[in-house]
């Protein structure tokens, strides 16, 4: 199921303003994870139900967080436009697809591009995690990312184009989204990419950082109690993929194995000497 079937982002542009934030439908998320788990009939060896829910929660949160990045970027431009004496309703105009009337922009082939990028942003957030941590958790990240890539083609329009924006492709997609926000086809592509990479639509764009963004779990009392048992530290789980299982022994095993593999590989010098 696409992330937006399990959660949604409520923008701060619309009243009641204090209700903005990320809403996670705990009952749907739980049901979705149980369905996947049962479908594999115990053959999903790498994941137990707790770890599967943690990964789905991390993915869904980051998808919705991307929608916050887009609203923050639009608001930044709105504030600047007031400074120039020409206030513009950047976000609302963008939501109304005003950019499609701009010559040279039109409808994007991966429309809605924001959904493709949100899926890709969630995918890329797993990759970022694997650059800063090692061990069993990261093996699961690779597996989970492979599952995501296989599931995208079954999702709706936009969502199913995420594959174009994973890895370095993200910057190009974010630059195209910036052109939609400012509703202009005359944005210099190199400058737009520079902005997309470093200023707007990077992690720094967010007005509220991940741990601080208002996040609500929605569901019946019974479902929320069950959810609490499976995900005892939700904030840490959706921001940094924490889960309480102790993986120290298997992490040590993986590190030892990596060292052994390094030792058993002939060095570059040795390979050069043996090459005729």
Binding site for Zn ion (CB under 5 A): 4, 115, 118
Closer residue to Zn ion, CB minimum distance, 115 or 155: 115
Closer residue to Zn ion, CB minimum distance, 118 or 187: 118
Query: Closest approach of Cβ 147 to Zn ion, in Å?
Result: 19
Closer residue to Zn ion, CB minimum distance, 151 or 184: 151
Cα radius of gyration (the chain): 21
- CA dihedral in degrees (232, 234, 238, 239; nearest 10)? -100
Query: Closest approach of Cβ 37 to Zn ion, in Å?
Result: 24
Query: Closest approach of Cβ 59 to Zn ion, in Å?
Result: 12
Closer residue to Zn ion, CB minimum distance, 4 or 59: 4
The separation between the first and the last C-alpha atoms of the chain, rounded to the nearest angstrom, is 54
Q: How far apart are CA 64 and CA 61, in angstroms?
A: 5
Omega within 30 of 0 (cis) for the link into 57 = no
CA distances from 66 to 117, 124, 203 (A): 8, 11, 9
Helices (H), the chain: 3-6, 26-39, 49-83, 90-95, 113-132, 136-151, 169-182, 189-198, 221-230, 234-240, 248-264, 268-274
Closer residue to Zn ion, CB minimum distance, 2 or 219: 2
Query: Closest approach of Cβ 57 to Zn ion, in Å?
Result: 15
Query: Closest approach of Cβ 160 to Zn ion, in Å?
Result: 13
User: Within a 10 A sphere around the Cβ of 226, how many other Cβ atoms?
Assistant: 15
Tell me the residue number closest to Zn ion, measured at CB: 4
Query: Closest approach of Cβ 43 to Zn ion, in Å?
Result: 30
Closer residue to Zn ion, CB minimum distance, 4 or 71: 4
| Structural element, H or E, at residue 267 | none
For the packed helices 221-230 and 26-39, what is the interaxial angle rounded to 10 degrees? 60
């Amino acid at each position: 199921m696409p992330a937006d079937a399990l959660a949604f982002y409520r923008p701060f542009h619309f009243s009641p303003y204090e209700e903005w934030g990320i809403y996670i439908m705990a009952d749907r998320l739980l049901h979705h994870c149980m369905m996947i788990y049962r479908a594999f009939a115990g053959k999903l060896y790498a994941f137990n139900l707790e770890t599967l829910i943690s990964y789905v929660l991390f993915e869904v949160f980051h998808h919705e967080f991307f929608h916050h990045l887009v609203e923050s970027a639009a608001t930044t431009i709105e504030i600047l436009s007031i400074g120039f004496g020409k206030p513009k309703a950047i976000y609302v105009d963008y939501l109304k697809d005003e950019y499609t009337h701009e010559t040279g922009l039109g409808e994007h082939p991966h429309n809605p591009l924001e959904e493709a990028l949100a899926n890709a942003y969630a995918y890329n957030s797993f990759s970022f995690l694997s650059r800063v941590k090692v061990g069993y958790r990261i093996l699961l990240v690779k597996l989970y990312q492979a599952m995501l890539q296989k599931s995208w083609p079954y999702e709706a329009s936009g969502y199913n184009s995420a594959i174009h924006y994973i890895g370095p492709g993200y910057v190009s997609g974010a630059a195209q989204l910036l052109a939609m926000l400012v509703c202009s086809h005359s944005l210099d592509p190199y400058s737009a990419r520079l902005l997309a990479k470093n200023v707007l639509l990077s992690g720094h764009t967010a007005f509220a950082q991940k741990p601080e963004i208002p996040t609500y779990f929605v569901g019946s009392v019974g479902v929320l109690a069950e959810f609490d048992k499976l995900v005892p530290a939700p904030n840490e789980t959706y921001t940094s993929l924490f889960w309480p299982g102790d993986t120290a022994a298997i992490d040590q095993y993986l590190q030892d194995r990596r060292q052994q593999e390094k030792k058993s590989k002939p060095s570059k010098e040795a390979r050069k000497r043996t090459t005729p």
